[in-house]
Structure 1
């Protein structure tokens, strides 16, 4: 009887091993496609605690506390201030304007965003406007040296005209080669 139990256990183990092999091959393609079909690799999931995906437009926290004098435009700090100089900043009742002169090495200005906050007489931030520059991907090479200065004008939004008396300006996006 002891011999029969051993045979039963060995037979059962062999049956389980055969079932496992068959289960692994049932969903596999046959023929030439089998060699071409990549088998799924082990995946690694990575999470970065506390990292929140970007949403909306880039902002400048300094706009909240800026209180430019009436009729003036001032610069607020941004993440790329070491790579450019804002020049000829001005505020007219219709727009904030000026130019961004790139001071870092540049072969082409790819992306530039200038953000302006508009303020009332009490220095309260009423709203914002943006100037966007996107490099054209036309596939043509440009002759001559790249331009290192980009002029901008950011109109006061229609709903703020007549209320906005000053502006604060900064650069939240700057990409150059």
Structure 2
């Protein structure tokens, strides 16, 4: 009889323990993301995060000869060549040809500084190319990318020269 009582008491305590732990469990918490304070944060001392579009410091130092399009040094100059640079009354245009390898251009930004006849920087324009995959295989990737940057209406007739450079170039 004593064994039955011990066995019954043990079973009762075990059932009470299971009920208590199950009642305290909240499955809904498993569906919630961790609190932002619990997320991993990475910091690099001295590294200032980007605050805008990439540019080239040399644009402000250029003084291109009126009627010309100069080039501004940038971080990717060893990977491409400019060609067909031109300035007319409404646009700065040209093309870049990737020379580092033959692969698709994924991201490209060309910036153009627009200058008046005294060499003063009036405006900075930008051409942006984003690679889009259209599901078709067109053979070898195109390593030449034409660009055109419009002159804003408020500067029409005042732009005498331009300078171009590449702050962003990503290819496969």
CA contact (8 A) 1:128 1:157 kept: no
Counterpart of 1:146 in 2: which secondary structure?
coil
Structure 1 counterpart of 2:159, from 145, 160, 164:
164
Q: How does 1:60-99 map to 2 (within 5 A)?
A: 60-99=56-95
Structure 1 counterpart of 2:102, from 102, 106, 109:
106
Output the aligned Cα RMSD: 2.7
Structure 2 unmatched ranges of 5 or more: 1-20
Counterpart position of 2:168: 173
Q: Give the length in aligned residue pairs.
A: 149
1:122 and 2:118 correspond: yes
Give the C-alpha shift of residue 44 in structure 1: 5.5
Counterpart of 1:63 in 2: which secondary structure?
helix
Structure 2: distance between partners of 1:44 and 1:72: 51
CA contact (8 A) 1:64 1:125 kept: yes
Structure 2 counterpart of 1:50, from 29, 46, 52:
46
Give the C-alpha shift of residue 45 in structure 1: 4.2
Counterpart position of 1:21: none
CA contact (8 A) 1:112 1:132 kept: yes
Do the aligned partners of residues 97 and 43 (structure 1) sit closer, same or farther apart at CA in structure 2, a change above 3 Å counting?
A: closer
Structure 2 counterpart of 1:144, from 139, 143, 154:
139
Give the C-alpha shift of residue 141 in structure 1: 3.6
Give the C-alpha shift of residue 160 in structure 1: 1.0
TM-score (norm 2): 0.76
Q: How does 1:15-34 map to 2 (within 5 A)?
A: 29=25, 33=27
Do the aligned partners of residues 141 and 166 (structure 1) sit closer, same or farther apart at CA in structure 2, a change above 3 Å counting?
A: same
Give the C-alpha shift of residue 89 in structure 1: 1.1
